[in-house]
């Protein structure tokens, strides 16, 4: 099964952005109920590994406390002019998310999950760009929302998620969670 470990990232402002993105041809917004920050993408794992991953999560987050993070601004990977992914950024609380990810990475290395090659950049994927036929609209959307205050989220648990790919997009289901203190 395809899996990842994440923190939920829901605010009242984000669904409005997703609705606006849905009007741009070639852009596929994520479902509002799936908004999250991925700490680690695990890929395909056998069901038998779920418990050992859950144990690693418990060890990683044993001394971690709940915290708030702020969502601010919109951007794109690799850039606004050649967007593949449109995202919302994290400001306050960013360091706490980076620390969570580092602790998780350390525990998962012990289970032989490879270390991420790129530096962890906390973000919320809003949409995937399937075609750049409306490149100017995409760039305008990003510029218009580059500094928007998009709300605050309380990070109080970290979840091991299963991702099932369907023609309508990914469907997520929670396998396990670890509550932060």
- Rounded to 5 degrees, φ, ψ at 154 are -90, 115
DSSP codes of every residue in 146-172: TT-EEEEEEE-EEEEEEEEEETTEEEE
Residue 120: partners with Cβ closer than 8 Å, 6 or more residues away = 39, 97, 98, 101, 102, 105
Is 123 catalytic? The answer is: yes
Catalytic (active site) residue 145: no
Catalytic residue among 10, 36, 145, 147: 36
Name the DSSP class of 118. S
Are 108 and 53 spatial neighbours (Cβ–Cβ below 8 Å)? yes
CA dihedral 101, 103, 107, 109 (to 10 degrees): 60
Q: Is the dihedral of CA 91, 33, 178, 166 positive or negative?
A: negative
The tokens for 109 are 């290395």
Q: Of 10, 54, 123, 147, which residue is the catalytic one?
A: 123
Alpha carbons 130 and 62: distance in angstroms, whole number: 40
Active-site positions read 36, 123
């Amino acid at each position: 099964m395809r899996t990842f470990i994440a923190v939920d990232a829901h605010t009242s402002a984000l669904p409005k952005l997703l609705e606006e993105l849905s009007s741009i041809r070639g852009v596929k917004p994520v479902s509002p109920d799936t908004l999250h920050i991925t700490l680690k993408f695990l890929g395909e794992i056998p069901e038998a590994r779920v418990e050992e991953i859950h144990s690693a999560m418990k060890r990683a987050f044993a001394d971690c406390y709940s915290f708030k993070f702020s969502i601010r601004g919109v951007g794109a990977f690799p850039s606004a002019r050649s967007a593949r992914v449109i995202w919302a950024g994290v400001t306050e609380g960013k360091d706490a998310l980076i620390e969570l990810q580092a602790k998780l990475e350390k525990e998962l290395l012990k289970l032989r999950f490879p270390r991420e090659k790129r530096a962890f950049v906390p973000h919320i994927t809003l949409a995937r760009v399937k075609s750049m036929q409306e490149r100017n609209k995409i760039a305008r959307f990003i510029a218009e929302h580059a500094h928007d205050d998009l709300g605050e989220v309380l990070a109080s648990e970290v979840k091991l998620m299963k991702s099932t790919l369907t023609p309508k997009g990914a469907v997520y289901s929670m396998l396990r969670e670890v509550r932060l203190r």
